[in-house]
């Protein structure tokens, strides 16, 4: 299927690795020019090189820096001639016990996983509406639908973003002008983050990492972890011309792990 977005411009945040990279790669394959962001310049440059090789017809630009910082957001926005597609992403907050978290921990989580995407949405959506096309995809987490107790910072901050987006996406100024805003909720995906979490659990419990991974797979009907590539392809569909009537939704990608009907 031709997704009808060739020649568009996308800003993909936190995109040198993992799910953000998967989204950027899928958009590049569809002929979308991209601005990629991440903090480590070397890794980001290497990713940009690989994506340019995927589709030499598109432009791939990079902006190095922490997307939670206002000056990095400004640079990322300025690097795009216009933003037709915005993919919001940043690292997830650390796990822990809420009794140990201080105000600074909460502020960091809210900043990265709620306020940063809201600032970027604010900078983009009105001009998207004027041009009659816009797609915003926020990478959140399956934990928004089925909270995980040790990920309280993530559950809280991402739920704030989810509630905000539910209202914003339904503004006629946006929905009526072909600007959609949706959240993609990853379950367990085979990325560096997942591998680090498995390794930390293995160190903490003394149990073999492969055994921990296997136990986790028993709760996933698909019996595998997702890949960043397939996550990216769903993201590209949400950004497509065809997905213009799909807005304000929370789409869970978890291999069937969430047991509810809705």
Interface stretch with ligand NAP, choices 2-10, 26-34, 88-96, 129-137 (CB under 6 A)? 88-96
> What's the token pair of residue 142?
């399956």
Residue number, 17 or 131, with CB nearest to ligand NAP = 17
Please tell me whether residue 186 adopts helix, strand or coil conformation: strand
Residues 156-195 that bind ligand NAP (CB under 6 A): 186, 188-189, 191-194
Taking the CB of residue 81, how many other CB atoms lie within 10 A of it?
A: 11
From the CB of 171, what's the least distance to ligand NAP, in Å? 26
- Judge whether 23 and 235 are in contact, CB under 8 Å: yes
Say how far apart CA 119 and CA 26 lie, in whole Å. Answer: 25
Q: Which of 12, 35, 38, 179 binds ligand NAP (CB under 6 A)?
A: 38
Residue 20 binding ligand NAP, by CB under 6 A: yes
Q: Which of 16, 155, 180, 183 binds ligand NAP (CB under 6 A)?
A: 16
Residue 68 binding ligand NAP, by CB under 6 A: yes
Residue number, 32 or 157, with CB nearest to ligand NAP = 157
- Judge whether 59 and 33 are in contact, CB under 8 Å: yes
H helix intervals, 132-208? 152-168, 172-175, 192-205
Say how far apart CA 239 and CA 106 lie, in whole Å. Answer: 31
Question: Where does residue 14 fall: left (phi above 0), alpha (psi -120 to 50 degrees), or beta otherwise?
Answer: left
Residue 67 binding ligand NAP, by CB under 6 A: yes
Interaction mask 108-127, ligand NAP, x per CB under 6 A: ----x---------------
Burial class (CB in 10 A: 0-12, 13-18, 19+), 134: buried
Residues 198-257 that bind ligand NAP (CB under 6 A): none
Q: Which of 2, 6, 7, 40 binds ligand NAP (CB under 6 A)?
A: 40
Q: Which of 43, 79, 213, 220 binds ligand NAP (CB under 6 A)?
A: 43
Taking the CB of residue 52, how many other CB atoms lie within 10 A of it?
A: 15
Taking the CB of residue 259, how many other CB atoms lie within 10 A of it?
A: 8
User: Can you give the binding site for ligand NAP, defined by CB under 6 A?
Assistant: 14-20, 37-40, 43, 66-68, 89-92, 112, 139, 141-142, 186, 188-189, 191-194
């Amino acid at each position: 299927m031709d997704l009808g977005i060739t020649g568009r411009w996308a800003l993909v945040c936190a995109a040198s690795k993992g799910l953000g990279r998967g989204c950027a790669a899928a958009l590049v394959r569809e002929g979308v020019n991209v601005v990629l962001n991440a903090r480590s310049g070397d890794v980001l440059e290497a990713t940009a090189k690989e994506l340019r090789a995927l589709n030499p017809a598109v432009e791939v630009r990079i902006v190095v820096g922490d997307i939670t910082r206002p000056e990095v957001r400004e640079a990322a926005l300025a690097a795009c001639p216009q933003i037709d597609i915005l993919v919001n992403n940043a690292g997830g907050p650390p796990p822990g016990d809420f009794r140990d978290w201080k105000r600074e921990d909460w502020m960091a989580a809210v900043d990265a996983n709620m306020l940063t995407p809201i600032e970027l949405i604010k900078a983009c959506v009105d001009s998207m509406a004027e041009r009659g096309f816009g797609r915003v995809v926020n990478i959140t987490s399956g934990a928004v639908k089925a909270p995980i107790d040790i990920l309280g910072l993530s559950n809280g901050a991402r739920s704030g973003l989810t509630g905000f987006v539910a209202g914003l996406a339904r503004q006629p100024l946006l929905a009526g002008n072909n600007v959609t805003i949706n959240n993609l909720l990853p379950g367990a995906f085979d990325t560096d983050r997942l591998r680090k979490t498995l390794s930390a659990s293995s160190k903490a419990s003394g149990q073999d990492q492969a055994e921990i991974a296997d136990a986790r797979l028993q709760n996933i009907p698909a019996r595998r972890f997702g890949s960043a590539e397939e996550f990216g392809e769903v993201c590209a569909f949400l950004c497509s011309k065809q997905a213009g009537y799909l807005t304000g939704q929370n789409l869970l990608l978890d291999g069937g792990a969430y047991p509810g009907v809705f």
